[in-house]
């Protein structure tokens, strides 16, 4: 076996809008006649350089407003599937935030149809299984959240497997979204909200009580509350941890303070993801390098992620077989 080949990875926390590299943005901008502040890959690359969270939000708005048509959403999935495959990805659950796009006049079916087309083609073209988990935007009214869930259920047989909650955690707690997550669960979708990234344990408790999650995106601040860690362990909830994102946003101030090792020591399964790789200057290999530098084995990270996937049983069995047959480095 080629020792340089990346080991297999499962990524469960990646915002597709945050994967758009400058080359892809230029192409979409030209196609849609959307004015960009630079017209070269180098120029856009400089703009992408991560400075602070406010600048990240500016870049996020600039990039996401370029997305207008089904073909744009489709391309975003395909480009990221190709990138992630280069880092060993065999399965991804991609997040997208449709509510903000509909506020800009883009049609729901254009968004869902485009992303689902991309997911199907990613399997055919690159052999990467892609499933989708649209995020409810926390600042949105409940009517928009319920509408999004309707579309998520409508597209369930085209690759939508869950519904998340994202955006400004400090300003918008999870509880008001309880009805939307109930609808999603009744419609056969998993609940995969963000919580415990910038807000402490109360945000994770709120998500546990109100949203019935099967996984939590981030969830790292659970480390501050032993009772919460016991609860997560008892429920078998997987945390989708993004170590480099946490450093970029300063949710964690330095690598040696990252809570990942303590969460794992406390028996909580943690998967590893990039969050917004293009905008946070990371990729799946670098996030795994940081995670394994804390002492986790690649195989244990794969198994933890596998415990949280929302795909059908047949696909999950195939992913298990990939993990079982791979010649993992080290003794695990």
Residue 178 known to be catalytic: no
**Nearest distance from C-beta of residue 325 to Zn ion, angstroms:** 31
CA dihedral 79, 84, 86, 88 (to 10 degrees): -150
> First-to-last CA distance in the chain?
17
**Nearest distance from C-beta of residue 217 to Zn ion, angstroms:** 5
Cβ–Cβ under 8 Å, residues 132 and 119: yes
Q: Which is nearer to Zn ion, 29 or 308 (CB)?
A: 308
**How far is 103 from 332, CA to CA, in rounded Å?**
48
**Nearest distance from C-beta of residue 39 to Zn ion, angstroms:** 30
# residues contacting Zn ion (CB under 5 A): 1
**Nearest distance from C-beta of residue 319 to Zn ion, angstroms:** 22
Report the candidate in 73, 117, 119, 118 with the shortest Cα–Cα distance to residue 97.
Answer: 73
Measure Cα distances from 249 to 52, 56, 159 in Å: 7, 9, 30
List helix spans (H) across the chain: 22-31, 41-48, 53-65, 70-86, 98-103, 108-126, 142-154, 178-186, 201-211, 226-235, 243-248, 260-265, 284-293, 298-308, 313-325
Q: Residue 102: exposed, middle, or buried by beta-carbon count in 10 A (0-12, 13-18, 19+)? A: middle
**Nearest distance from C-beta of residue 166 to Zn ion, angstroms:** 6
Q: Which is nearer to Zn ion, 28 or 192 (CB)?
A: 192
Residue span binding Zn ion (CB under 5 A) among the ranges 140-148, 167-175, 205-213, 268-276: 268-276
Q: Which is nearer to Zn ion, 215 or 288 (CB)?
A: 215
Q: Which is nearer to Zn ion, 26 or 76 (CB)?
A: 76
Residues forming beta bridges with residue 11, ordered by sequence position: 92
Q: Which is nearer to Zn ion, 29 or 277 (CB)?
A: 277
Active-site choice (110, 197, 224, 314): 197
Q: For residue 145, what are its two tokens?
A: 């959240």
**Nearest distance from C-beta of residue 194 to Zn ion, angstroms:** 5
Report the candidate in 145, 131, 218, 139 with the shortest Cα–Cα distance to residue 181.
Answer: 145
Backbone angles phi, psi at 132, to 5 degrees: -130, 140
Residue span binding Zn ion (CB under 5 A) among the ranges 122-130, 152-160, 267-275, 318-326: 267-275
Residue span binding Zn ion (CB under 5 A) among the ranges 32-40, 54-62, 106-114, 269-277: 269-277
Torsion region of 281: left, alpha or beta (phi above 0 gives left; psi -120 to 50 gives alpha): left
Output the residue with the shortest Cβ distance to Zn ion: 275
Q: Which is nearer to Zn ion, 70 or 198 (CB)?
A: 198
Residue carrying the six token digits 């943005």: 25
**Nearest distance from C-beta of residue 15 to Zn ion, angstroms:** 6
Residue span binding Zn ion (CB under 5 A) among the ranges 68-76, 270-278, 286-294, 322-330: 270-278
Torsion region of 64: left, alpha or beta (phi above 0 gives left; psi -120 to 50 gives alpha): alpha
Q: Which is nearer to Zn ion, 29 or 196 (CB)?
A: 196
Residue span binding Zn ion (CB under 5 A) among the ranges 74-82, 146-154, 274-282, 284-292: 274-282
Residues forming beta bridges with residue 14, ordered by sequence position: 94, 275
Active site residues: 197
Binding site for Zn ion (CB under 5 A): 275
């Amino acid at each position: 076996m080629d020792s340089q080949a990346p080991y297999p990875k499962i990524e469960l926390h990646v915002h597709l809008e945050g994967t758009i590299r400058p080359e892809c943005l230029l192409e979409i901008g030209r196609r849609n006649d959307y004015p960009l502040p630079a017209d070269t890959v180098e120029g856009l690359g400089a703009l992408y350089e991560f400075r602070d969270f406010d600048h990240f939000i500016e870049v996020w708005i600039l990039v996401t407003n370029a997305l207008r048509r089904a073909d744009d959403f489709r391309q975003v999935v395909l480009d990221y599937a190709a990138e992630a495959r280069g880092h060993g990805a065999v399965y991804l659950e991609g997040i997208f935030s449709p509510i903000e796009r509909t506020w800009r006049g883009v049609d729901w079916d254009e968004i869902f149809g485009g992303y689902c087309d991309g997911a199907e083609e990613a399997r055919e073209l690159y052999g990467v299984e892609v499933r989708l988990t649209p995020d409810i935007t926390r600042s949105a009214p409940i009517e928009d959240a319920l509408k999004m869930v309707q579309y998520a259920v409508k597209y369930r047989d085209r690759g939508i497997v869950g519904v998340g909650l994202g955006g400004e955690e400090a300003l918008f707690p999870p509880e008001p979204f309880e009805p939307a997550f109930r609808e999603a669960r009744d419609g056969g979708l998993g609940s995969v909200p963000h919580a415990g990234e910038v807000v402490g344990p109360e945000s994770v408790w709120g998500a546990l009580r109100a949203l019935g999650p099967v996984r939590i995106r981030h969830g790292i601040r659970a480390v501050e509350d032993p009772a919460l860690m016991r609860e997560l362990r008892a429920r078998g909830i997987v945390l989708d941890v993004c170590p480099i994102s946490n450093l970029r946003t300063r949710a964690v101030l330095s690598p040696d303070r990252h809570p990942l090792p303590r969460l794992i020591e406390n028996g909580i399964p943690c998967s590893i993801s990039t969050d917004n790789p293009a905008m946070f200057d990371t990729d799946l290999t670098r996030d795994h390098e940081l995670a394994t530098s804390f002492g986790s084995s690649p195989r244990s990270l794969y198994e933890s992620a596998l415990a949280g996937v929302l795909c059908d049983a047949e696909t999950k069995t195939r992913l298990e077989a990939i993990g079982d047959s791979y010649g993992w480095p080290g003794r695990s």
